[in-house]
Amino acid sequence: MTAFNEYQGATGETAVYPRHDALPYLALGLANEAGEVAGKYKKYIRGDYDFEGMRTSVVAECGDVLWYLARLLDELDYPLEKCAIDNLEKLLDRKQRGKLKGDGDAR
């Protein structure tokens, strides 16, 4: 078992949310935490943090993003590791075909 899948399994021990609304709850949580990453960086641009302060804050928020992503995929019965591999394979294929830039999923 990989670290990704071990992590995904372990997140269930700290999962507290309504199971009947798990997917919308987790999708909203993921969006919220990603927004917090952006907000920390925005405050760095504004001058509220030095680089190390921003880095510490962003890294902490990325952990929350990872938790929500792992839980969402778990509720969808999809391994976090497979999601990571699938995404990397997609991007490497786009790179090989010279399609990293541009719009749309079907590049």
Write down all domains in the chain, each with its CATH number in brackets: 3-78 (1.10.287.1080)
The structure tokens listed for 87 are: 């995404």
- pTM here is 0.90
- SS3 letters for the chain? CCHHHHHHHHHHHHCCCCHHHHHHHHHHHHHHHHHHHHHHHHHHHHCCCCHHHHHHHHHHHHHHHHHHHHHHHHHCCCCHHHHHHHHHHHHHHHHHCCCCCCCCCCC
CA 53 to chain centre: 21
* pLDDT at site 67: 98
Q: pLDDT below 70 — which residues of the chain?
A: 1
- The per-residue pLDDT for 1 is 56
Instruction: Give pLDDT, residue 81.
Output: 97
